Structure 1
Amino acid sequence: MGSSQSSDKLHCNRYLNGQGPPSLVQQAKEDVNGTYRAGHGSQPEGQMTWVILHRDLPGFPNDNTVQINYIFPDGIQTKKHPNPGQPYAGIRLCAYLPDSREGRKVRKLLDKAFNQQLLFTVATNQDGKDMVTTTSIPLKTQPDAGSKVDGYPDSEYLKTVRQILKDKGVE
């Protein structure tokens, strides 16, 4: 994937019903569907792009920021989703990485995981609505809100996400 920008406004700091995704620990311990499929997951059709922002992330004062944009339009579920033939709500989500050597490695791994359909899936939320959501691979969706709400600073994130990706066969 290359660097590109969309004229559409991305709602980067909103997630599903306005609340953040599960914590990194929660995401690492449980997959949304409860199972992991080797090779290809249940990710619906979507797009991943990235761009370099000329600002730093807390904890990475000497690096620019990589903003990864994920866009999944509304769609109809397939047999790999919980309710085949039924509609689901899409999502627009941004994730952030430092533009450092290690951050660029993680971006490439996330790109591989996206292409293997491992980053997102369709799941039913608390209101009974089917929608696109992240799987057990954690993403930093807040550039500077702290590690408790999936933001920075978080000195362990790059190491943690690399290990989770490795455990899922993405190296």
Structure 2
Amino acid sequence: MGSGQSSDKLHCNRYLKGQGPPSLVQQANAEVNGMHRRKGCQPEGQMTWVILHRDLPGFPDDNTLQINYIFPDGVQTEKHPHPGQPYAGLRLCAYLPDNRDGRKVLKLLEKAFNQQLLFTVTTNTKGEDTVTATSIPLKTQADAGNVVDGYPDSDYLRTVRKLLKDKGIE
């Protein structure tokens, strides 16, 4: 601490609350137990899902999981591009096959959502700040043919699992 400050200034919020910094053992145990999670910059929102009694192209024997993401309009925080400025919310439906692999991806997407890693606030091409998906692709078209955000796509579930694993979601 070259400026003459005591090392007690580190973790000052914890010291003010009567706590010291976590020990190395506590930090290691937290990581092993999954308590130390990376948080993203996703705004406040809601994720719900329902089962649709219809199949997706490429998954003729399975029902469909429809995931609903809802983000109301809001005001950006310090973790967004323009703190204090408004942003437009988002309503988005995504689809997964209702099978073993689809349910696994659903659980992983829930973890990523809870860790605020699926969405963020960005400035669109019109110069408006809005909620948008991050680098995890979501299938938002149930019957879109071979377009990027639709089915059929036999590699989608495997791709999403890998991308989520790269972000620490397993």
TM-score in same-fold range (> 0.5): yes
Q: Could you tell me whether the CA contact under 8 Å between 1:77 and 1:88 is conserved in 2?
A: yes
Note the C-alpha offset of 1:80. Answer: 0.3
- Structure 1: which 5+ runs fail to align? 1-37
Mapped pair 1:89 → 2:88: yes
Cα deviation 1:139-169 (Å, max 9, x = unaligned): 0000010342400000000000000000000
2:53 aligned partner: 54
1:124 aligned partner: 123
| Structure-1 separation of matches of 2:82 and 2:38 | 22
Cα deviation 1:76-118 (Å, max 9, x = unaligned): 0000000000000000000000000000000000000000000
| Structure-1 separation of matches of 2:145 and 2:159 | 16
Q: What does 1:73-84 align with in structure 2 at a 5 Å threshold?
A: 73-84=72-83
2:99 aligned partner: 100
| Structure-1 separation of matches of 2:109 and 2:169 | 8
Letter in 2 for 1:169: G
Letter in 2 for 1:95: A
Cα deviation 1:57-79 (Å, max 9, x = unaligned): 00000000000000000000000
SS at match of 1:83: coil
CA RMSD of aligned residues (A): 0.8
Letter in 2 for 1:125: N
- Structure 2: which 5+ runs fail to align? 1-36
TM-score (norm 2): 0.78
What is the number of equivalent residue pairs in this alignment?
134
- CA change 1:147–1:42 in 2 (3 A) is farther
**Higher helix proportion:** 2
Q: Could you tell me whether the CA contact under 8 Å between 1:54 and 1:65 is conserved in 2?
A: yes
2:113 aligned partner: 114
Note the C-alpha offset of 1:49. Answer: 0.2
Higher Cα Rg: structure 1 or 2?
2
| Structure-2 separation of matches of 1:147 and 1:157 | 12
Letter in 1 for 2:78: K
% identity of equivalent residues: 79
| Structure-1 separation of matches of 2:135 and 2:81 | 17
SS at match of 2:102: helix
SS at match of 2:50: strand
| Structure-1 separation of matches of 2:82 and 2:44 | 16
Letter in 1 for 2:87: Y
1:11 aligned partner: none
Q: Could you tell me whether the CA contact under 8 Å between 1:142 and 1:149 is conserved in 2?
A: no
SS at match of 1:71: strand
